[in-house]
Each structure stands twice: as structure tokens, then as C-alpha cells.
Amino acid sequence: MVGSASTIAIAAAVAGLATATPVRTKVGTFSVPQVKNPGFKPHGPAQLAKAYLKYGVKLPEGLAKTVSDLKILRRDSGSAKTTPEENDIQYLTPVSIGTPAQTLNLDFDSGSSDLWVFSTELPAGSVNGQTQYDASKSSTAKKLSGASWDISYGDGSSSSGDVYTDTVTVGGVTFKSQAVEAAKQVSDQFQTDSNNDGLLGLAFSSINTVTPTAQKTFFDNIASSLDTAAWTADLKYHEAGTYDFGVIDSSKYTGDITYTDVDSSQGFWSFTATSASVGSGRNNTVLKASGFSGIADTGTTLALFPDSVVTAYYKQVTGAKLDNTQGGYVFPCTTTPPDFTFGVEDATITIPGKYINYAPVDESGSSCFGGIQTDEGIGFSIFGDVALKAAFVVFDNSKGTPRLGWAAKSS
């Protein structure tokens, strides 16, 4: 979520997948660019809170108070407060829904499996500038009788609604009977991000939350029509990147792609990293020589790693300290953190230190929040955007069993 605050919890319905109308023509490949969220103002504690809530972890007392005091998780008189710490995501992707097309900017989230949107079925007080899907204005919308969705959040709030099938187009590729989950109720955390109109999940369909029958993701619905049943993330540092479907664009990476097996049993793109170290090349110091499991999650901004790894890393960062009020490690903004390197099979991926200097936590701009924080309480590590931006990443389901590919970026 990106990202997006307090998103989908990991518990979900795993009933048989719904049968959808097949794509009748081979579409081959397509690419979709991200667009910059004009309201984005990075705030590390808010992004950490978002990640914890997404995976059902109770916020530490200091972090909970910080986000509450900043009014990131509140509304005032029916409208979201605009603060320098607005809790939203940096990049969104345009998606067309319905006939005629209604364009909504969605967060592509490999950590969830629902395509849900703000809709005209929401109370007026729950909408804060978001574009709303109006099923009544789409000639191709069909209500899925008896279907509903109800997503629970780690802070006890939830979002829910009913379900339609409708024409959905991403990057020029259309699926005519995609499940579109229309929100009738959304939590305050989503209301505060006026530019984000919903999520498009890219995890595995087994954790889609529609009941009584789970629905397929957009990718699973179109996979058989692609040249290759794979999609790639080429996320960028401080600029919009691209998602490609059906093609592995050789111009976007250098050297070889290193593939590693994915455990999809929990519905996520889960894999085992082989090591972690601080620095790169001959100047690196091993932080963890054995493997640790994690998921590749485009919907989470920060990278969350084992507590022992994070503690050892920040011992190498000048002026770093654990700030319980902010909920994580901070350091002077003038500090350039060392690189962080993790292993994938026999390859290494290096997160540049500048990525780890995420954003100031105070108005003076003197103290900055680390882009790497602890995964304590989650049960696995989260390779969010801070990590994914360091590589060209392939989400591949073309070989019968899923796998993740990692390669050095071409630029």
C-alpha cells in the first residue's frame, strides 16, 4: 500500500474461485505507468503504522499516540485534515471500470487480493475527494447476487460492501467480467487519502475476501491470455515506475534474473532471503548469515526485517536511536546511512543508503525516520517498496509453481 493506510488483514475466505467470463483474444503483453500522487507527503511513523495495521499488529503505545496526535487516523467535521504528515501512498495506477469507462486511481498491492473501490454507495461523509465508482452508470455492471466483502483491520475498523462484475481495463487490456468490490463503508484511514480511489490486489486469489465464493484477481483472470503468465515491478526512487504484464522487458534490467521459489500457501508472494548485511561489496558486514522468510509487497512502503537484523544495522548508522514515540529507528537527517544488502539464492540485492533515509519526522527536518524497521509481531518480513525499488522484480506464475525473480536495474 501501498501501500494506503491500514489495509487488508491476512485472514480471508478460501472458498472455490468463481468462474469468470474468459478473455476471448490473446492480448500478449502490456505496460502500465504509475502516476504520482499529488497529495503525497512522506511520514515514516504513519507508513510503519499502516504496515502494522495491514498485518494485524497492535501499534506500540508511542506510535499509536504519534499518529493519533497528528490526526492521521481521524476525521474532523466530515473532512480530512490536511497536514504535512498526510498518510497516503506515493504512486497510483489509473484503472478504467465500466461502460462508459470510469477512471479510478488504484494502489496496485501484491499483499492483497481484492479489487475494491470507493463507490457512490458510500455515505457522503465518508468521501473526501475520491473518485467513486457508480455501477448504475455502467451498462456492463451486473450485481453479484448474494455476494459481499468485509475486510477487517488490525485497529478494529473495517471496510465492506457489495460486489459487481464489470468491464475492467488496465493498460489497454480488458477483462469483461471482473469482480469489482464496491465499498459501502470505509475506515477513516482510507478517507484521509483523497487521491487513492481503492486497491487492485495482485497476491493470490485464495485470499480474496468475497463471500460466499472468493473471486479471482484481475491478473489471474487475464493470465492465460498473456504471452507469459507473469508481471513485473520496476519501481523508482522519487519518480513513477511501471508495471508490465506478460513480458519481461530486458531493457529494464542488467545481468541475469535470479529466481527463487515462492510459497503461496498463505496467499502471498512469500520467499526466503538467504542473508542480510550492511554495506556492499568487500566492505559489507554480515548481519544474518542464515535464511529468513518474507513477502514481496508493493502495497507497503517500508521494509520490515527481523528485529535482530534491524538492531544490528542501526548500530552502523551514525546517531541512530530507537525512538519509542515515533515507533522505530530515527537518525539525524544529515546522516547518510550505509547500504543494506540481502541475498536471494546466490545473488545479492543492495538497497542504497539514500532509500533508507525515508523522511523527516519533525518540522525542523533534523531527525529522519529509517526506511528499514522491525517486523516484530508480524511473523514474517515485508519486502516493501524501499526494498523493491532496489531491483527489477518478476512475479512469475508461468511454470506451474510461482517464483520471484530479482535482477539489477538498468538505470
CB atoms closer than 10 angstroms to residue 302: 25
Q: Are 250 and 51 in contact (CB under 8 A)?
A: no
The candidate with the shortest Cα–Cα distance to 54, out of 179, 151, 130, 136, is 151
The terminus-to-terminus CA distance of the chain in angstroms comes to 24
What pLDDT sits at residue 24? 38
Q: Are 205 and 217 in contact (CB under 8 A)?
A: yes
**CATH 2.40.70.10 domain extents, the chain:** 30-233, 252-409
Residues of the chain with pLDDT under 50: 1-25, 72-89
- Given the DSSP bridges, would you call strands 392-396 and 35-36 parallel, antiparallel or unpaired? unpaired
CATH superfamily of 252-409: Acid Proteases (2.40.70.10)
**What's the fold here for domain 30-233?**
Cathepsin D, subunit A; domain 1 (2.40.70)
b/e map of 181-204 (b: 16 or more CB within 10 Å)? bbbbebbbbbbbbbbbbbbbbbbb
Which H/E stretch holds residue 52?
helix 44-54
- Unique residue bearing C-alpha cell 472468493: 214
Q: Are 220 and 22 in contact (CB under 8 A)?
A: no
Which residues are catalytic, by number?
109, 297
What pLDDT sits at residue 202? 95
Give pTM, 2 decimals.
Answer: 0.84
Q: Are 130 and 196 in contact (CB under 8 A)?
A: yes
